[in-house]
Amino acid sequence: MTATDIVYSLSEDTWDERELAAAARVMASGRFTMGAEVKSYEADFAAHFGSRYAVMVSSGSAANLLGIAALVYSGRLKAGDEVIVPAVSWSTTYFPLTQMGLRLRFVDIDPDTLNIDVALLDAAITDATRMVFAVNLLGNPCDYSQLRAICEAHDLILAEDNCESMGASFQEKMCGTFGVFGTFSSFYSHHIATMEGGVVLTDDEELYHFMLSLRAHGWTRDLPKTSQLYSKNPDPFYESYNFILPGFNLRPLEMEAAIGREQIIKLDGLVSQRILNEAYLKEALGGLRGFRRQRPLQQSSWFGFAFIIDPDCDVSRDQVVKQLTNSGIEVRPIVAGNFTRNPVISYLPHSIAAPLTAADDIHKNGFFVGNHGHDMRRELDYFASVMSDVLNGK
């Protein structure tokens, strides 16, 4: 096969006539921001994952900001507190923490799972540490048995950035439901697509109420009458523009929520197909050598397929990426590699617990390709063929 026969894209469209009908329904309604569709989607989302509360926002990045801000304004974290984070993740795992006055403490990743190395956590904890912000990278769940035990032993908050891992599970419990909150993304290239969009899940009623206010300017309008956060005036005119917190505008669109209601129905099927695609890829690669792959700890939802070229391989990562790209296969770094190697780090108050050896390996030798919710046997055969050619010097 050649690049003229097939194109292996990073993402795909998961919509059909049902999503188009949902969008048309919103257009006809005349209500375009944060109304009945958003409330229904939040209820559907919370029920799907078994959580008490869901708050829809404009993106997964906004979900992280909202969850962190709720912890700060509720008094559970304060400026200067230290938060342990993995050295490999997306930028908006880190930015909301520093934007809310917190200090990052980077811990290396496990070279196989690509998630935070729990064996390094105890040694990384200092007197200033107040939280662990765990990231389920590229669909792969963290070891929540150990993470929870460590957090409980040191009285640390545990929260989850699950934006890349919707549908993943650990010990039959859904990722995004282990911490005090968990965040999700429904950006176009993710497991479900609402154009832009994100959700925060929590079982904590107080945090939920803080998030309802912070999501929309810090006003009181969206708080329930029974909220302990604030006693609402019975006059709705008074509560129209009444502000109690220095909030944001993270509101989602009704159209995104309407599409999301259709997408969440499809989620289990989309994830199941992604799992089948991974099993086929493993078989297609056969005994090909020169790289290692991300190892799932438990049930990964396989956001994509990560590869780390062996340092002693005769072919470099850059050579592999070039040949894949020239063959019509879209390739990306493994998220942002070792994030402390990004120039933006100079703006972020942080410390590094120990050498980030595995993260550096990812930074220099790693890449990933996409996974989709449809049968990808044709694309995966093509990918395996190109990988075989480049690794064998053809």
pTM, full prediction: 0.97
Give 306's strand partners: 368
Dig out the tokens for 216 from the structure.
């929309």
d(CA 79, CA 101): 5
17-263, what's its fold? Answer: Aspartate Aminotransferase; domain 2 (3.40.640)
Residues of the chain predicted below pLDDT 50: 1-2
Dig out the tokens for 17 from the structure.
């006539």
Dig out the tokens for 313 from the structure.
């391989």
Element (H, E) at 211: helix 205-215
> What CATH number does the domain located at 267-391 have?
3.90.1150.10
Domain ranges of the chain: 17-263, 267-391
Q: What is the pLDDT at residue 393? A: 86
pLDDT tens for each residue of 249-267: 999 999 999 999 999 999 9
Pairing of strands 82-86, 103-107: parallel
Q: What is the pLDDT at residue 1? A: 46
* Cβ atoms 271, 191 nearer than 8 A: yes
* Cβ atoms 198, 163 nearer than 8 A: yes
Would you please indicate which residues are annotated as catalytic (active-site) residues? 190
d(CA 124, CA 117): 11
Coil vs helix vs strand at 27: helix
d(CA 183, CA 161): 5
* Cβ atoms 216, 222 nearer than 8 A: yes
Dig out the tokens for 14 from the structure.
């998961």
- Asked if the domains 17-263 and 267-391 are classified in one and the same CATH topology, the answer is no
Element (H, E) at 104: strand 103-107
Q: What is the pLDDT at residue 163? A: 98
d(CA 195, CA 186): 7
Classify each residue of 109-136 as buried b or exposed e, where b means 16 or more C-beta atoms within 10 Å of its C-beta.
bbbbbbbbbbebbeebbeeebbbbbbbb
Residue 388 CB burial class (10 angstroms; 0-12, 13-18, ≥19): middle
Provide the Cα torsion 280, 283, 289, 293; round to 10°: 40
* Cβ atoms 324, 390 nearer than 8 A: yes
